[in-house]
Amino acid sequence: MMFDWDYMFSLFSLSDFWWASWTVIKLSLASWGLSIIIGFILALGKQSRFAVLSIPSNIYIWFFRSLPLLVLLIFVYNMPQMLPSTSAFLSEPFWAGLIAMVLCESAYVAEIHRGGLLSIPKGQGEAARALGIRFVGTQWLVVIPQALRVALPALANEYISIVKLTSLVSVISLTEILMVGQRLYSQNFLVLETMAAVAVFYVFIVTVFDFLLKRLEDYLDVTKSNVSRQPSEEFIEAVRSAPAPQLKPTSEFDGPALKASKLHKAYNNVEVLGSVDLSIQTGEVVSVIGPSGSGKTTLIRLLNGLEQLDNGEVDLNGQPFLKLQRNGSSPPRFIEHSEHRNKIGMVFQSFNLFPHLTVLDNLLLAPRYHHMGSKKDLEMQAYQLLNKVGMLEHAWKYPHQLSGGQQQRVAISRALMMRPQIMLFDEPTSALDPEKVNEVLQVIEDLAREGITMVIVTHEMNFAFKVSDRVVFMEQGRVVCDDAPQLLRGGHNPRVEAFLKDVSLA
């Protein structure tokens, strides 16, 4: 028996096949879109440290990944037998099929999202938190765009699987491509010709959407961006002639800008920081030095709440910011007055710029989130800060197009955009090449001359002794010495003298 090519080609003009193809497209796109949303919620729940969220999410993913889609389709479609009130909705094959596919696919997509979430560095969330962006805002503005970009190839592959899985919906009498083919070959027995046409329709749908998804993937891939925009001379002049932004905050409080009392932190019962007191006056520059593992970074992370205190408290301008509240025999409760978070700017060792945003958008993200001004005013302030650190011509580039020193200067500008009352620097030059260190130190030195209150954890001894009003030496989680630079140079403390013996102080 010869293959009937004429009959096969005639099927491509059959309206039933095209209507069935439209049904497949609607069903697959709706299933895919809803699964992406629900799957992301499940992925967040599975990673949550709260059992009330993680346990149900784990159970859902385990159960629906174990259940065959065919069984789920039949069960959902026949649900009205158990719950008659659902008959008006579930008796319609399209909606029953959509619900069953979303229930099943959400479990698979959740694991794809979890892989995307795990690929996002922890520092991204910490940077957003340091800018005062809350959990939902962090997910929506920082995490989701990056995680989706990482997960998109797997999500596109899952969409193709969903297109093919729609053929199973014929079991509940939904008129999709396979059902149309089955009806035809049951009448004329031309099985191969009909199935060949069915295959062509599926291949056509998959090919079109695979092409579109690849275009979307390329569009979202910022590493392929080739920024050629440069500011004009007129634009540069307008930025320079605009009124300079007020960087030094004004405060009516006469006491210390920051006061930390009896800070304590331990990891796995190993003490890292023990009963540390620190007081910073407005306009004062304090450098924190000491050997590796002395607790310097832990201290600075405790000051802005990136790590929870085990004991102690932190006040800003006389107002409580962080503390551990104890109520009798109840476990102590960590309290953060988040309304003060924007008063502390943080510059990280590894920059932690948001890679999916341009330099300009990195600066604008948090101020826009907090509604700190009009778009026009915020943009001008961002341009002025970038000009101040020598980065104006790079405003429209992405972080991956910048050197380490350039990224750190952008990170300093981003922190300053929030107009903080105190700036914290966590070893801002340790991740830089030696030749890039000076350009970052020069920016910090300029800020010190402007009277910005700063706490700087650094290994750059000459810089620390040059710009600081006080130098704090730490060892084994405690403050050994807290004095003016000229007094430390005098060698009055044997431990400090031993630490500096191989350092040639200018």
Walk along the chain (506 residues) and give the pLDDT tens digit of each residue: 688 899 999 999 999 999 999 999 999 999 999 999 999 999 999 999 899 999 999 999 999 999 999 999 999 999 888 888 888 788 889 999 999 999 999 999 999 999 999 999 999 999 999 999 999 999 999 999 999 999 999 999 999 999 999 999 989 888 889 999 999 988 888 899 999 999 999 999 999 999 999 999 988 888 877 766 788 888 888 888 888 777 766 666 778 999 999 999 998 888 899 889 999 999 899 999 999 888 999 999 999 999 999 889 999 988 999 988 877 777 788 888 888 888 999 999 999 999 999 999 999 999 999 999 999 999 999 999 999 999 999 999 999 999 999 999 999 999 999 999 999 999 998 878 877 888 899 999 988 888 889 999 998 888 888 899 999 999 999 998 988 888 777 667 788 888 887 676 65
- Measured CA to CA, the distance from residue 323 to residue 315 in angstroms comes to 9
Structure tokens that stand for 280 in this block: 């910073």
Amino acid at 383: Y
Nearest CA-CA partner of 299 in 104, 420, 474, 464:
474
Output b/e per residue, 167-179; b: 16+ Cβ within 10 A. bbbbbbebbbbbb
Q: Residue 399 falls within a domain, yes or no?
A: yes
Whether residue 239 is contained in a domain is answered as no
What torsion do the CA atoms of 138, 144, 147, 149 make, to the nearest 10 degrees?
Answer: -130
Dihedral angle sign, alpha carbons of residues 443, 417, 391, 306: positive
Give yes or no: residues 169 and 286 share one domain: no
> Is residue 431 located within the same domain as residue 306?
yes
- Same domain for 33 and 110: yes
What torsion, rounded to 10 degrees, do the Cα atoms 490, 494, 498, 504 define?
Answer: 0
On whether residue 248 sits in a domain, the answer given is no
Q: Write down the pLDDT at residue 224.
A: 79
- Cα dist from 396 to 231, 256, 360, 366, 393, whole Å: 9, 39, 6, 17, 8
Instruction: Give the pLDDT score at 494.
Output: 84
Amino acid at 157: N
**Which of 163, 190, 220 is at the close of a domain?**
220
Domain assignment of residue 407, yes or no: yes
- Domain span at residue 474 reads 258-499
CATH number, domain at 406?
3.40.50.300
* Assigned token pair, 356: 């999916």
The domain total for the chain is: 2
**Tokens 């800070």 appear where?**
263
What is the pLDDT, as a whole number, of residue 87?
80
Which helix (H) or strand (E) segment is 425 a member of?
A: strand 422-426
Which amino acid makes up residue 292?
Answer: S
- SS3 of residue 278 by DSSP: strand
Q: What is the total residue count of the chain?
A: 506
Per-residue confidence (pLDDT) for residue 454, from 0 to 100: 93
249 in a structural domain: no
Do 297 and 371 have their domain in common? yes
In a domain, residue 228? The reply is no
C-alpha–C-alpha distance, residues 506 and 503, integer Å: 9
Beta strands across the sheet bearing 478-483: 344-347, 422-426, 454-457, 285-289, 470-475, 478-483
Q: Which letter does DSSP use for residue 500 in this model?
A: T
* Residue 272 and residue 200 in one domain: no
Residue 421 near residue 317, CB atoms below 8 Å = yes
- Tell whether 215 and 77 lie within a shared domain: yes
User: 183 and 294: one domain?
Assistant: no
Q: Same domain, yes or no, for 333 and 216? A: no
Beta bridge partners of 335: 323
Indicate the pTM of the whole model: 0.87
Pick from 148, 135, 150, 141: which is nearest to 53 by CA? 135
Going from the C-alpha of 415 to that of each of 52, 92, 214, 348, 366, the distances in angstroms are: 35, 55, 36, 10, 9
Is residue 65 located within the same domain as residue 193? yes
Which residues are within 8 A (CB) of 110 and not within 5 positions of it... i.e. 6 or more apart? 38, 39, 40, 42, 43, 46, 57, 60, 61
**Side by side, which strands form the sheet with 333-336?**
270-280, 258-267, 311-316, 319-325, 333-336
**142 and 279, same structural domain?**
no
Rounded Cα gap, residues 434 and 436, in angstroms: 5
The verdict on residue 49 lying in a domain is: yes
Same domain as 275, residue 204: no
Q: CATH code at 186?
A: 1.10.3720.10
146 and 281 inside one domain: no
User: Is 490 part of any domain?
Assistant: yes
Choose the final residue of a domain: 190, 220, 250.
Answer: 220
Q: Are 184 and 11 in contact (CB under 8 A)?
A: yes
**Distance between CA atoms of 288 and 286, rounded to whole angstroms?**
7
